[in-house]
Amino acid sequence: MLRLTVLWTLCLFLAPLLVLQGLLVRVRTVALPTARGPSSGRFGESSSSLLLLGIGDSVIEGVGVTHVEEALTGQFALKLHQQNSRPILWQTQGRNGDRVRDLIARLPLMDGVEPDLVLVSIGVNDVSHLTSVTRWQWEVTHLIAELKLRFSAPIVFLGIPPLGQFSALPQPLRFALGVRARLLDQTLQQAAKLLTDIYWFDTAIDFQAQQLAPDGYHPGPLACESLATALSLQFGELLNSPVKGSTQEVLPVNLDVK
């Protein structure tokens, strides 16, 4: 943590250049549409299906793929179904641009959903908006507390991806945001070590920039499939505990409420 803090402090000396590059990236980056299709589905048929709930930012919403089933939550559900031979319901509650504070504000909309496993993708937008480390730590702690109050299921946080390898970002902005991402990501790692039923998944392992979507920022279909395979291998056993969640059809939640 100290080394990353020192590196980030040094990056601040380049602040004017970094701000200019950030503005140019926003202008030049291709704005990809949200994935098409319903925000829920199933693999396999049974009255005792397990429910995978994906919540968070654009990765959960499906920006970077054409159809929602190609996005990470759907791919993860498919891999879990193939691995465990059990029917899996899946539901996504993602919104492009969400930061931690936004996700916390949306959690009441998910009351009544009873998942068996929760997948959370959050943090990239906090990196790009320069959320302070102190505020990030407080908000992540708040988010975890709220999640544990609402859901009895294990919660898997995707580690913040290695922005230092994102092809859409020019140097030195790429290096600076990579350092910032690693700083914030350490909070998630620490939480996973200290709290029960909270897990952290390292998205930097086997990261391949060529699998990003055309915007060079979001995971494309191949990236989602690779991540889903790794997630199922690492966390598939979490579904071997007794069924805790819903065994009924999942009704979409209205996300238009701000």
Question: Is residue 16 reached through a cis peptide bond, with omega within 30 degrees of 0 on the bond before it?
Answer: no
Task: Going residue by residue through the chain, which has 258 residues, state the pLDDT in tens, using 9 for 90 and above.
Answer: 677 777 767 777 788 888 888 888 887 877 898 899 999 999 998 767 899 999 999 999 999 999 999 999 999 999 999 998 889 999 999 999 999 999 999 999 998 899 999 999 999 999 999 999 999 999 999 999 999 999 999 999 999 999 999 988 999 999 999 999 999 999 899 988 889 999 999 999 889 989 999 988 899 999 999 999 999 999 999 987 544 433 333 333 343 433
Q: What is the pLDDT at residue 78?
A: 97
pTM equals 0.89
Q: What is the pLDDT at residue 119?
A: 98
Q: Determine the topology of domain 2-30+39-240 in CATH.
A: Rossmann fold (3.40.50)
Long-range contacts of 32-35 (CB under 8 A, 24+ apart): 32/63, 32/64, 32/213, 32/214, 32/215, 32/218, 33/63, 34/61, 34/62, 34/63, 34/96, 35/61, 35/62, 35/63, 35/64, 35/65, 35/66, 35/67, 35/68, 35/70, 35/71
Q: What is the pLDDT at residue 82?
A: 94
Break the chain into its structural domains and give their ranges.
Answer: 2-30+39-240
At residue 119, φ and ψ (nearest 5 deg) are: -110, 125
Q: What is the pLDDT at residue 8?
A: 63
Q: What is the pLDDT at residue 43?
A: 94
Q: What is the pLDDT at residue 241?
A: 58
Q: What is the pLDDT at residue 250?
A: 38
Percentage helix, strand, coil for the chain under 3-state DSSP, each rounded to 5? 50, 15, 35
